[in-house]
């Protein structure tokens, strides 16, 4: 692969980005060996420290295995990588070679949200239940301002995730909304069916506040599986 020489600013980031993209795009396949540090440094026209730092970050993402004194072996990202890889790609403006990634992340969001609502109805204390009620009303008051409602929606769900008491769900939620991943990446205009269902959000908050776990789960499912509207030219520029 012919690498592009990089500028002196953020050289490690640029080396990392090119190697990451070469791996997830299949230019380097699972079990391939990357070129050695010296060869990579020459190809990128950077020092070996920048290459070493880039390889360390690739290893943290689960894309390679670096062995001291041995070759750096490419791993199968479908087996070893986590949500951090998707976040890294979204932040850089790149995409995973999976055509259904946004759909898949929205599916994951729905699965987590449904169970989180159920757990919150069972576990939340009175203070959290009241916070959720207020957050639902704050959300409703913003209609029909979809961008503002999108932000308030994240705030409401953060209360629900915390009330559910599942740390793994909370961390996954953070990955889903950080860096414009999935929820944020989909423009609020495309989520109009979900966001403008003010009554549904109030019902969700009431079910949680009253401890009706099954009702909370079903209401969450209805909201989080609402159909997306077709993307517009304006959305594609967002």
DSSP string of 54-114, one letter each residue: HHHHHHHTTSEEE-TTS-EEEP-HHHH--HHHHHHHHHHT---S-TTHHHHHHHHHHHHHH
- 43 vs 86, more confident: 43
| Confidence tier at 99 by pLDDT (50, 70, 90) | low
Using CA atoms in the order 165, 169, 173, 175, what is the torsion angle rounded to 10 degrees?
A: 130
Distance between CA atoms of 54 and 19, rounded to whole angstroms? 8
pLDDT in tens, 176-196: 776 444 444 677 888 899 999
pLDDT at 121 over 80: yes
pLDDT of amino acid 130:
97
pLDDT in tens, 54-68: 999 999 999 999 987
> Which region, left, alpha or beta, applies to residue 31 given φ > 0 means left and ψ of -120 to 50 means alpha?
left
Arithmetic mean of pLDDT over the chain:
87
């Amino acid at each position: 692969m012919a690498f592009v020489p990089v500028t002196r600013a953020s050289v490690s980031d640029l080396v990392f980005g090119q190697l990451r993209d070469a791996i997830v795009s299949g230019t380097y396949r699972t079990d391939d060996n990357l070129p050695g540090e010296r060869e990579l440094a020459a190809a990128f026209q950077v020092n070996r420290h920048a290459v070493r730092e880039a390889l360390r970050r690739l290893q943290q993402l689960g894309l390679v295995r670096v062995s001291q004194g041995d070759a750096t072996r490419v791993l199968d990202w479908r087996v070893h990588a986590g949500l951090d890889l998707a976040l890294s790609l979204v932040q850089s403006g790149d995409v995973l070679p999976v055509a259904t990634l946004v759909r898949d992340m929205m599916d994951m969001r729905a699965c987590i949200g449904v169970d989180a609502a159920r757990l919150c109805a069972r576990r939340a204390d009175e203070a959290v239940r009241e916070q959720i009620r207020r957050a639902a009303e704050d959300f409703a008051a913003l209609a029909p301002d979809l961008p503002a409602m999108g932000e308030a929606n994240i705030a409401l769900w953060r209360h629900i995730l915390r009330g559910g008491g599942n740390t793994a769900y909370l961390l996954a939620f953070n990955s889903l909304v950080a860096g414009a991943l999935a929820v944020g990446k989909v423009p609020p205009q495309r989520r109009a069916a979900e966001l403008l269902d003010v009554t549904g959000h109030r019902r969700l908050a009431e079910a949680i506040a009253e401890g009706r776990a099954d009702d909370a789960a079903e209401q969450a499912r209805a909201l989080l599986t609402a159909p997306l509207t077709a993307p517009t030219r304006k959305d594609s520029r967002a």
